[in-house]
Structure 1
Amino acid sequence: MKTLITGGAGFIGSSLAKALVARGDTVTVLDNLSPQIHGASADESPLLGEFPRGVRFIRGDVRHADDWAQALEGQEAVVHLAAETGTGQSMYQVDRYVETNIRGTSLLLDHLAHQAHSIRRVVVASSRSIYGEGKYRGPEGDVYPGMRNARDMRAGQFECLSEQTGEPLAVVATDETSKTHPSSVYGITKLVQEQLVLMTCGAMGIGAAALRFQNVYGPGQSLRNPYTGILSIFSTLLLQGKDINIFEDGEETRDFVYIDDVVESIVLTLDAEHARQAAYNVGSGVATSVLEVAQTLKRIYGAPGELKVTGDFRLGDIRHNFADVSKIRDELGFQPSVSFREGATRFCEWVRSQTIEDAGYERSVAEMRARGLMN
C-alpha cells in the first residue's frame, strides 16, 4: 500500500513508518518539524534521522493546501496524525489549535472532494479527550459528569460526585457509545476532526476510521515538549534532580498505552477494509494513577527528587478515564500486549540514552497560572 503519514516525523508517526516499511509498504511523510516537539534544530531531530531507507519526506504543513496536494499525489491511504496536542496549552492558544486540527483536516477533505486522487482509506488520530470525564456509575445509573467545580477542588474534593447522594461515583470503562463532551479546546478540535473525516469520507465512498487514543507513551516520545506526556515530563524532572509536584491528590487515573500497541492498532485499522466510518478506542484498558506513574519512574531511575502531592489543579483536567477496548478487539483483533510496568521499564531505558535538557515545564505551569487556568 502507498501510505501518507501526516505528522510522520513525530512520536507515533515515525514508529508507524518503520512498521509499514518493514512489511513492504511505500511510505510518504508530511511534517512541519514543529520546534515544540523537535527542538530548535529541527533538521537534526533524532526521529527524522531514524527513518528507514525509502521513506519519502516532505517538510510541509497541513494548514497549506499546496503541501497537501504534493503529499497526496499517488497515495492510496492516509494516516492523519498531524495535530497540536497539549490539553492545557489549547485553553489559551485557541486559534492555533483550531487552525491546525480542524482547518488542516478540512483542507485534506477539500482536496479529496475536488481533485482527482487514488485515496481509498483514511485513518485519523482521535483522542480520549473527546469524552471529557469518563463513564461513571452511581445510584442513578450511568453518569457522565461535566467539568468539576473549582470551589470543590480548592477544598480538596476531587472526585466526581453523585447528584443524588453526594457520594463519589464509581468509574467504569468508557466505550465508544459513551457521551462525548470534551472539557478542553483540544478535545473539541479532536471531536470535530473525527466527525469531519468520518462523515465526509463516507459521503465520498472512502473507507475511514477514527482511533481514539488514550495516553500514548514509549521510546521516541518528545522530551522537549512541556505540554504533553507526563512520563516524559516526570522523567526530565527526575533526571535533573528536581522534585515532582503532583496535581490534585495523585489519585487521578489515566489509561497508558504503549507505542508498539498503538502502531499495531493503526496497521490493523489500515488493513480492515470492512471498518468503514467506524470509531475505536485504543488503550490498555487499565486505569493507572498519576501517583503510581511518578513512583514507578522514581524507583526505576533511582532518582533523589521528592514526590510532592500539592493539591494544585488545572481547569479542564478530567479526574478519570480508561478505555473499554472490546470493540477493536472483537472487530479488528487488537489486543494490547505491553503492561504499564514493562512499558515504563522500556521507556526509562530509552530515556537514559538521551540528552536531558530543560523542557520548560515550570514555564508552562507559570503560563497557566498567569491565565487563571491553574489553582
Structure 2
Amino acid sequence: MGKKVLITGGAGFIGSHLGDLFLSRGYEVTAYDNLDKQVHGENPERPAYLNREIELVVGDVRDADLFSRTLKQADILVHFAAAVGVGQSMYEITRYTSINTMGAAVVLEQAVQQKDHIEKMLVASSMSIYGEGLYICPSCGEVNPKLRPAEQLASRRWDMLCPVCSQPCIPAPTPETKPLFPTSVYAVNKRDHEELFLAVGDAYGIPVTAMRFFNVYGERQALSNPYTGVGAIFASRLLNDKPPVVFEDGGQSRDFIHVHDIARGCLAAIESDKANGEVFNLGTGRKLSIMDVGTAIARELGKPSDNFIVNNQYRAGDIRHCYADISRAEDLLGFRASIAFEDGVSELCSWVGSQTAVDMVDKATEELKKRGLTR
C-alpha cells in the first residue's frame, strides 16, 4: 500500500485534481470537504467528477473532533480548504476569517497532536498575498508599490506609476522574496495560512511547504460561483448569452496556470526534501491581460468577443499587474508549467460547453456596489 494523503478541500476544483494525481502515483487519498453550497450547489452531494477511489469525509475544518479522527490515518496532510473570493471577503469578514484563519488553526492543532505520524504538510497560499507585483521604473530600478493612489484611480489613470518618481512602471516577474502587501481579507487569510503552517511546522519538526498559486483555471471550476476565477466567471456569462463585465480598461494582467500543472507542482513539492520549509510560486511566468483572456474564451465558445462591458470602474483593493517569477520552482523542484494557455483554454471551453451555469455575477457586483467597493 502507498502512503496515505488527506486533502482538506479535496472535493473541490484543485483538490480533486491533486487527488487524481496522487492516486495515479500509488497513494491512498482521503478528501475532507464541507461541500459548500456556493461551490457545489444548493443540494450538495458527492461530485460526479470525484474519483471513486477517493474516500470522502464531509466535514468542516473547524470541527476538531471529526478532523482529528480523519487525520489519524494520514501520512501526508494537504490543506486546501478555504472560503475563496476576494470581493466577498471584504464584506463577509467574520465568515472568511473564521473558515480560513481559525480553520487552519484547528487543523494545525490536530496535526501537532498527531505529529508522530505526519511526515509532511503542504498548504495552498496565493499570489494575492503580494498585492501588486514587482515593477521596474526606468529611473529607480526595481520598485514594490502598494495600491495605486485613490486620486489616480478616480481620474481613471490605470497604469502603475513609480512610488518614488511617478514615472510609468513596467511589470516584471514577481519573486517569492517580494514584500507582501495583501489588499483584501482573503489575501490576509492566505498569508495567515502560509505563515501559520510554516511557523508551526518549524517549531514541531514537521516538514512543510507553502505553494503560492497564481490564477488557476481548468475543468471542475465552479461556474456558478461568482467569486471564482475570472475564466469561469467569463464563461458563465457567455454561456448565459450575457456580455462579460470588465473592470478598469481590461489591460490589467495576471498569470494563468492550468490546474493540471498546479497538481504536478504540488506533487513535486511533496516528494522533494528540497521543498521543506520553502515557499514556491506556481505560475507560468507569462502575463495575460484580462481582456485577452475573455476574448480567447469567447472565441472558443463561439460567442461574440466584441460586446464586453468595459465599465471603466475599479474595485477596492484591485491590483494592476502580477505574474510569477518561476525560477525557484525550476531550480529546487525541477518544475515548469507545461500547458500553454491557448491549449488549456481550449480544453476548458470544451468542458464548459457541456455544463449548466447559473449566472450570479450581477448579484455579486451589486453586493460590492451597495457597499461602496466599486467606484
Task: Confirm or deny a common fold (TM above 0.5).
Answer: yes
Match of 1:17 in 2: 19
SS at match of 2:42: coil
Q: CA–CA distance in 2 between the matches of 1:163 and 1:96?
A: 34
Which digits, 9 at most, give the CA deviation of each residue in 1:114-161, with x for residues without a partner?
Answer: 346510100000000110100011122221111222322121111111
Q: CA–CA distance in 1 between the matches of 2:91 and 2:25?
A: 42
Change (3 A) 1:308 1:272: same
Q: Report the AA paired with residue 64 of structure 1.
A: D
Which digits, 9 at most, give the CA deviation of each residue in 1:144-197, with x for residues without a partner?
Answer: 111222322121111111134322111100001111111111111111110110
Q: CA–CA distance in 2 between the matches of 1:133 and 1:102?
A: 22
Which digits, 9 at most, give the CA deviation of each residue in 1:311-358, with x for residues without a partner?
Answer: 111000111000001101110111101111111111000001112323
When the two structures are superposed, what TM-score results if normalisation uses the length of structure 2?
0.96
When the two structures are superposed, what TM-score results if normalisation uses the length of structure 1?
0.96
Q: CA–CA distance in 2 between the matches of 1:182 and 1:357?
A: 30
SS at match of 1:236: helix
Q: Report the AA paired with residue 130 of structure 1.
A: I
Q: CA–CA distance in 1 between the matches of 2:363 and 2:21?
A: 36
Q: CA–CA distance in 2 between the matches of 1:209 and 1:158?
A: 35
Q: CA–CA distance in 2 between the matches of 1:35 and 1:111?
A: 26
User: What number of residue pairs does the alignment pair up?
Assistant: 371
Question: Quick check: 1:122 aligned with 2:125?
Answer: no
SS at match of 1:79: strand
* Kept after mapping to 1: 8 A contact 2:274/2:332: no
Identity of aligned residues (%): 39
Root-mean-square deviation (CA, aligned residues, Å) is: 1.3
Q: CA–CA distance in 1 between the matches of 2:108 and 2:240?
A: 44
The Cα of 1:24 is off from its aligned counterpart by: 1.2
Unpaired segments ≥5 residues, structure 1: none
* Kept after mapping to 1: 8 A contact 2:33/2:59: yes
SS at match of 2:274: coil
1:1-375 map, 5 Å = 1-43=3-45, 48-115=47-114, 117-138=116-137, 139-304=139-304, 306-358=307-359, 360-375=360-375
Q: CA–CA distance in 2 between the matches of 1:171 and 1:236?
A: 30
* Kept after mapping to 2: 8 A contact 1:21/1:52: no
Q: CA–CA distance in 2 between the matches of 1:67 and 1:289?
A: 43
Q: Report the AA paired with residue 329 of structure 1.
A: E
* Kept after mapping to 1: 8 A contact 2:61/2:106: yes
Larger CA deviation: 48-57 vs 209-218: 48-57
SS at match of 1:223: coil
Q: CA–CA distance in 2 between the matches of 1:295 and 1:342?
A: 15
The Cα of 1:52 is off from its aligned counterpart by: 2.5
SS at match of 2:273: coil
* Kept after mapping to 1: 8 A contact 2:72/2:114: no
SS at match of 2:330: helix
Q: CA–CA distance in 2 between the matches of 1:187 and 1:367?
A: 19
